[in-house]
Amino acid sequence: MGLSRNQIKNLVNVESKKFKAPPSRTIKKRKFEGEEQPAFPFMKKPLREPQPPKRGKSVSAAEIKCSDATRALVRERLLEAFTKVAGEVEDMEKKVQVSACDPVGVAVSVESVLYKNMGPSKGAKAAVRYRAILFNVKDPKNPDFRRKLLLGEVKPETLVTMLPEEMASDDRQTQNKQIREDALAKIPDHSAVDEKESECDAR
């Protein structure tokens, strides 16, 4: 005896359900402030791009390492001085200029120029020069010199031939100038002396 039409229809429906494809597992996403994020809290958020370190933070000495330990030490001392400048300047315009500077880059640049022109700091003559430069850069009473060097107002190339009095602070340079002017004022005018001598001879 054959199957009725309804029985055949029911049998087809049962068999078709066995081979029904599973629903696609799609994850709905929603956007927050221009970026895509999963709609469910247990999903991982997209990785953010690494942010550069904020200015004013202490900089690791690893960023200025050099294969030469002596050169690395000079760079570290320069960097130590340059990182003080931000807290020393009071003028707002200078503050903006200082905040735009890279103390690490300047320290490496200055040391590289010194090494290129004077060689290693172990040499007898070079050691004296290096000590004078580092002393003035780190001198607590000489914030002007390290600020000028950081801002590029004093070029690293000029350090090679710069006199100690030229590295002094603005106040100290003003005092030195006044001392020289006072000393020159005490020296008699040679032209006036010659005139007096000629008058005596004429008599």
Per the structure, the complete domain to which residue 108 belongs is given by 61-183
Q: 18 lies in a domain?
A: no
Q: Is residue 23 part of a domain?
A: no
pLDDT of residue 88: 94
Residue 195 covered by a domain:
no
Whole-number Å distance between alpha carbons of 150 and 106: 6
Residue 172 near residue 163, CB atoms below 8 Å = no
Residue 120 buriedness (CB in 10 A; 0-12 / 13-18 / 19+): middle
Indicate the pTM of the whole model. Answer: 0.58
Per-residue pLDDT averaged across 131-153, rounded?
Answer: 94
In a domain, 43, yes or no: no
> Does 107 score more than 80 pLDDT?
yes
The answer to whether residue 54 is domain-embedded is no
Domain membership flag for residue 19: no
Residue 148 lies in a domain: yes
**Count: domains in the chain:** 1
pLDDT over 70 percentage in the chain:
61
Question: What confidence tier does 40 reach under pLDDT thresholds 50, 70, 90?
Answer: very low
- Would you say residue 1 lies in a domain? no
